[in-house]
Amino acid sequence: MGDMFAKLLQQTGLLQLTWQQVLMMVIAGVLIYLAIEKKYEPLLLLPISFGMLLANLPAAGLMNPPGDGHIGGLLWYLYQGVELDIYPPLIFLGVGAMTDFGPLIANPKSILLGAAAQFGVFATFIGALLFGFTAQQSASIGIIGGADGPTAIYLASKLAPELLGAIAIAAYSYMALVPIIQPPIMKALTTKEERGVVMEQLRPVTKTERILFPIIVTIVGSLLLPSAAPLLGMLMLGNLFRESLVVDRLSKTAQNELNNIVVIFLGVTVGATASADNFLTSQTLFIIALGLVAFAVSTACGVLLGKIMYKLSGGKVNPLIGSAGVSAVPMAARVSQVVGQQENPGNFLLMHAMGPNVAGVIGTVVAAGVFLAIFG
Amino acid sequence: MWEDILIAILGALVVFAVLILLQYIIEAIHAFAGRNDKKQQKETAAAAPVQYNADEDAIQEVELEDEEELVAVIAAAIAASLNVSAYDLNIKSIKRVPPYTPVWNKMGRQQQLMNRL
C-alpha cells in the first residue's frame, strides 16, 4: 500500500519541481498580470506567458519531442509552425490585410524615416557582440529595435532559437511600452517650434496605385532580398486582398479568424520555448537591456532624420513623425500624434506618421533579410 | 570586430538603398497610375456596392430592418445641406461603399472626439 502511494507520488510533478521552474512560473504569473491588468499587448502577452507556464510544469512534457515510445507533447507539435517559419508569415498576411499603405504611397519620402529607424537594429547588433553574444544571436537581439514581433520571432527562430523566448518577450513588452519609452526621447531631440509644425494634407491615392504597390514591392523586394520573400510576400498578399476589393471575405479572414488562430499558436509555443534552463540566464537580462537600447536608438534616429527633413523641406515636415519609423503599428504613429497635439492641439499628425510607420514594417523585414542573407 | 562593424554599416546601407528604391518605385507608380484621380475614385465607388451585394449574408439582412430609417436620415441630411425641403428631393438610389478606413484609424478618430468631449 505504502509502495503504491510512493509510486503515485513519483508520478506527480511535485517531487520533480525545481526552484528554477517555480521561479519561471512566478515570472509567467507576473506577465499574465501585466497582460490582464495593465493591458500590455494582451493579445500576445497572455498566450506567451501561459505558454511559459505550461512549459515549466515538470513531468508534463508538453514540449517534448516524440521518441522513446512517446508521441511527443502537444506544444512541440504546435511549435513546428515556429520552427519551420510558418506562423510569422501567416501573421504578416493578416498585418498586410489590416495595413493601409495609402499614407506611404501619398508621401513616398516618408519611407526614409522608416529606414532611419532601423539604425537601432544595427547599433544594437554591435552592442550585443560587445556583450559576448554570437553574430547570429546579436542579429536576433538587434531586430528587437525594429519593434516588429513577427519579424523578430522569424529571425530568432532561424538564427538563435535558444533565445527565442527572451527575444519575443522583450520585443512585445517594449512594443507595449512605446507610449512610455518614446515621448521623452522625441521631446529631448526636437524644439517646440519643430513639434508644432502642421503638415500639408496628403493627396488622395488611386485604386490602381494601391493595387500596383503590393505587386511591385513583392517582385522588387524579393528579387533583391530573396531571404525576405516569405515575410514580404505574405504581407503584400494580405494587402492585395484588402485593396483589390473583390475578395472581401479572404481579407476579413486574414485579418481576423486566421490571424487570431495563428496568434494563439504562435504565442503559446513561443512562450513555451522559455523553459527554466533556457530563460534563467544572465543572457536574458542582457537581451532585455539591449532591447531597450535598440528601441531608444531606433526612435532617436527616426526623429533625427525627421529633423534633417524638416530643415531640407524648409519646415514642412514635422520631425515627430520620424519616431513612427519603428514599426509598432499603429502605436508608434499614435505616439507621434499625441506628442504633436500636446504642442499644438489642432495638429493631426496621425496619417502623416502612418507613412513612416508602415515603411518601418518593410524596413524591418529588409533588415531581417540582410541578416538572414549574411548569417542564415 | 571590424568585420562585424562593417556588416552593420553594410546592413544599414542596404536597408536604406532598398527603401530609397521603393520610394522611386512608388513615385513611378504614381506617375503611371496616379492620374485622373476623380475618375478612378468614382469607379471605385460605383464598383464597390456590386461587390458588397455579392457578399451579402445574414448580417446584411439584419441591417435591412433599419434601412428605411437610414434612408430617412440620409434624405434629411441631404435636404439640410442643400437647404431645401426633404419633399422636394427625389432620391433614386443610395449605394453603400465599403469602409476604406482601417479600424485603428477609426479608433484614433474616436479617441480624438472623446478627448474633446
Note the pLDDT tens digit of each residue in B17-56: 999 999 999 999 999 886 655 554 555 555 444 444 444 4
CB contacts, 8 Å: B41 with chain A: 204, 206-207
Supply the mean pLDDT for chain B. 74
B13 touches chain A (CB under 8 A): no
Q: Answer for the pair A62, A74: CB distance below 8 angstroms, yes or no.
A: yes
Please name the residue of chain A whose CA is at the shortest distance from the CA of residue B98. Answer: A245
Query: How far A338 CA lies from chain B's nearest CA (Å)?
Result: 10
Contact across the interface for B32 and A212, Cβ inside 8 Å: yes
Please classify residue A161 by burial: count the beta carbons closer than 10 Å to its beta carbon, then call 0-12 exposed, 13-18 middle and 19+ buried. Answer: middle
Query: How far A376 CA lies from chain B's nearest CA (Å)?
Result: 14
Q: What is the mean pLDDT of residues A139-167?
A: 93
Q: Answer for the pair A52, A274: CB distance below 8 angstroms, yes or no.
A: yes
Residue B64 binned pLDDT confidence (cut-offs 50, 70, 90): low
Please name the residue of chain B whose CA is at the shortest distance from the CA of residue A348. Answer: B112
What does the pLDDT read at residue B37? 53
Of A206, A213, A363, the CB nearest to B26: A213
Per-position DSSP letters for A249-310, written without gaps between them: HHHHHHHTHHHHHHHHHHHHHHHHT--HHHHSSHHHHHHHHHHHHHHHHHHHHHHHHHHHHH
Peptide bond into A330 cis (omega under 30): yes
Provide the ipTM: 0.88
Q: Per DSSP, what are the bridge partners of residue A67?
A: A70
Q: Does residue A107 have a pLDDT over 60?
A: yes
Query: How far A76 CA lies from chain B's nearest CA (Å)?
Result: 34
The predicted-structure confidence for A28-80, as pLDDT tens digits, reads as follows 999 999 999 988 888 888 999 999 999 999 888 888 899 888 898 999 999 99
CB contacts, 8 Å: B42 with chain A: none
User: What SS3 state is found at A70?
Assistant: strand
CB contacts, 8 Å: B22 with chain A: 108, 111, 217, 220-221, 362
Query: How far B87 CA lies from chain A's nearest CA (Å)?
Result: 35
Query: How far B99 CA lies from chain A's nearest CA (Å)?
Result: 10
What does the pLDDT read at residue B42? 53
Residue A60, C-beta contacts closer than 8 angstroms, at least 6 positions apart: A13, A54, A73
Q: Does residue A293 have a pLDDT over 80?
A: yes
Dig out the grid coordinates for A144 from the structure.
528587437
Q: Per DSSP, what are the bridge partners of residue A70?
A: A67
CB contacts, 8 Å: A105 with chain B: 26, 29-30
B residues 50-109 lying closer than 8 A (beta carbon) to A: 51-52, 55, 98, 100-105, 108
Query: How far A35 CA lies from chain B's nearest CA (Å)?
Result: 20
User: What SS3 state is found at A334?
Assistant: helix
Contact across the interface for A220 and B41, Cβ inside 8 Å: no
**Within 13 A of A135's CA, how many CA atoms are on the CB side?**
15
- Of A308, A353, A236, A213, give the one whose Cα is nearest residue B23: A213
Residue A173 binned pLDDT confidence (cut-offs 50, 70, 90): confident
A65: which DSSP letter?
P
The predicted-structure confidence for A181-206, as pLDDT tens digits, reads as follows 999 999 999 999 999 999 988 888 89
Give Cα A80 distance to the centre of its chain. 20
Percent of chain A residues topping a pLDDT of 70: 100
Please name the residue of chain A whose CA is at the shortest distance from the CA of residue B116. Answer: A345
Dig out the grid coordinates for B20 from the structure.
530609397
Of A126, A249, A363, the CB nearest to B55: A249
Contact across the interface for B26 and A105, Cβ inside 8 Å: yes
Supply the mean pLDDT for chain A. 92
Please name the residue of chain A whose CA is at the shortest distance from the CA of residue B48. Answer: A245
Contact across the interface for A248 and B52, Cβ inside 8 Å: yes
Residue B117 binned pLDDT confidence (cut-offs 50, 70, 90): low
This prediction has a pTM of: 0.80
Contact across the interface for A224 and B1, Cβ inside 8 Å: no
Q: What is the mean pLDDT of residues A11-37?
A: 90
The predicted-structure confidence for A295-314, as pLDDT tens digits, reads as follows 999 999 999 999 999 999 99
B residues 35-54 lying closer than 8 A (beta carbon) to A: 35-37, 40-41, 43-44, 47-48, 51-52
Q: Answer for the pair A65, A196: CB distance below 8 angstroms, yes or no.
A: no
Give Cα A363 distance to the centre of its chain. 12
What does the pLDDT read at residue B116? 66
Residue B11 binned pLDDT confidence (cut-offs 50, 70, 90): very high
Of A217, A337, A374, the CB nearest to B7: A374
Of B14, B26, B37, the CB nearest to A108: B26
For chain A, strand residue ranges (E) read none
CB contacts, 8 Å: A204 with chain B: 37, 41
